[in-house]
Structure 1
Amino acid sequence: MGTDTEPMHCVGVVLAGGLSSRMGRDKALLAWQGRPLIERQLAVLRAAGVDEVRVSGDRAAYGGIADAIPQAGPLGGLAGVARAQAEDVDLLVVPVDMPLLQAGLLQRLRTERPQARSLGFVSHVLPWRLRLDSRSRAALDELLRQDDPRRRSLRVLQATSGHEEIPLTAAEAAQLADCNTEAQWNEVTG
C-alpha cells in the first residue's frame, strides 16, 4: 500500500471491450508501428512502470477480462476489472484508441499526487488514475445500477471520486488524441 508520498501498487488497464462501431473495424487490432494497437498500449503501460497490466474486454489472446455488464461502455469494462482485482490498488486506465500516448506522460499520471483518489489531465477523461478501494467499488456498483445511461459514465465516477486534474503542455495534450472513426485514425496516424 502506498503512502501520502509514494504510489500504491499500480495496475495498468487497457479499455478494449468496445464494439468499435464508429470505426467500422476492431480498433484494438489496428496496425500501429508494426503491431496491433492493443499490444502497443500494453507496452506503453509497462514502460510507464505499472506493476501489472490488464485488458478490459473479452480478448482471450490478451488475458482479457469480460465486461461486468455487456455493452455498458467503459464503466462496464472497468467494473469487470474491479471485480477481478481483489486488493486495493491504483488503476492506470488508458483507452486502446490513443496511439500517440507515451510512457512518460503515463508515468507522470502514475506518480504525481499519490494521495489523490482520482487523477487525470485537464479537459480529458482518459488516461486516468483511480484508487480502487471499497469506496470506488461501491460508487462503481451504484452507477451501474442507474437507469439513466448519462449517469453511467467515467466522468460521473470521476466526479464522485473527488477527481483532481493536472495541467498539460500543448505537446502532452497532442498525445491524447483518440481515434474513434476512420477519419480520426487517418488524421492522427497519417
Structure 2
Amino acid sequence: MAGIVLAGGLSSRMGRDKALLPWRGQTLLAHMYGLLERAGAEVVRVSGAYPEFDGVADTVERCGPLGGLFSVAKVLPDGPAWVVPVDMPQLDVALLWQLRDAPQAVCVIFAGQPLPMRLNIDEACRTLLESMIQNPDGPRSLQALQRRLGVLELPVPAAAGSFLVNCNTPEQWEELAS
C-alpha cells in the first residue's frame, strides 16, 4: 500500500493553509503523513508544494482534490493506495485497515464519505483522471471519479462517525480542536 495526503489547494474557506494548522504538537500534514506510515504505507506522497514532505505540486491548478490526486498518481507506481485528506485528524489506523482489508475493488470508501478511500492506481486510473482533468466542463470531483471507476461502499462503523469528520472553516477547526 502507498499513501497519499491531499494537501494542495487554496484552503480558501479556512483562510489559511490547513496543512500547517497545529494538531497535538505538530502540523496537520505531519500528523496525517505519520498516520499513513503507522498504518503501513510503504511510501507516502503529498499533493501540494511541501518540499519537506517530498510534496508533488499540482500540475493543473484549481482542480481541487481531483487535481492533487492526478498529480500524485502520475509519480506513484501501480498498486493500491490510501487517499486521505489533510484535514481529517481524527482518522485512525483501524479505519484505514478496514479499507485495506475490504474485498477487491478498484475503489473502496465508507458509505457517504468520499475520503478516505483505497484506490488502485494503474494506467486505467491515471487515464481516467487525466480525461476528467482535461475536460473543462467537468465533473472534476472525487465522487465523479469514484462513480466512473465503480466504487465499493463499506458501511460506516457505528463508532467511527467522529473519526471521519474533516474541517474546512475556522469554526469547524475550532470545534474539532477543542
TM interval, shorter chain, is: over 0.9
Deviations 1:91-113 (A, max 9, x none): 21000001111111111112221
Q: Which moved more, 1:165-174 or 1:116-125?
A: 165-174
> Which amino acid counterpart does residue 134 of structure 1 have in structure 2?
E
Cα shift at 1:157: 0.6
Q: Where has structure 1 moved over 2 Å in runs of 4 or more?
A: none
Alignment of 1:80-95 (within 5 A): 80-85=71-76, 87-95=77-85
1:102 to 92, 97, 107: 92
State the Cα RMSD in Å: 1.0
SS at match of 2:113: coil
Cα shift at 1:180: 0.2
TM-score of the superposed pair, with normalisation by structure 1: 0.90
- Indicate yes or no: 2:175 matched with 1:184: no
SS at match of 1:126: strand
- Indicate yes or no: 2:97 matched with 1:122: no
The count of aligned residue pairs is 178
1:17 to 8, 17, 21: 8
TM-score of the superposed pair, with normalisation by structure 2: 0.96
Q: Which runs of 5+ in 2 are unaligned?
A: none
CA distance in 1, matches of 2:160, 2:42: 23
Deviations 1:134-178 (A, max 9, x none): 2111111111111224x1111111011111110112321210101
Alignment of 1:1-190 (within 5 A): 10-85=1-76, 87-113=77-103, 115-149=104-138, 151-190=139-178
Cα shift at 1:34: 0.6
Percent identity (aligned): 46
CA distance in 2, matches of 1:106, 1:125: 14
Q: Which runs of 5+ in 1 are unaligned?
A: 1-9
Cα shift at 1:54: 0.6
CA distance in 1, matches of 2:59, 2:146: 19
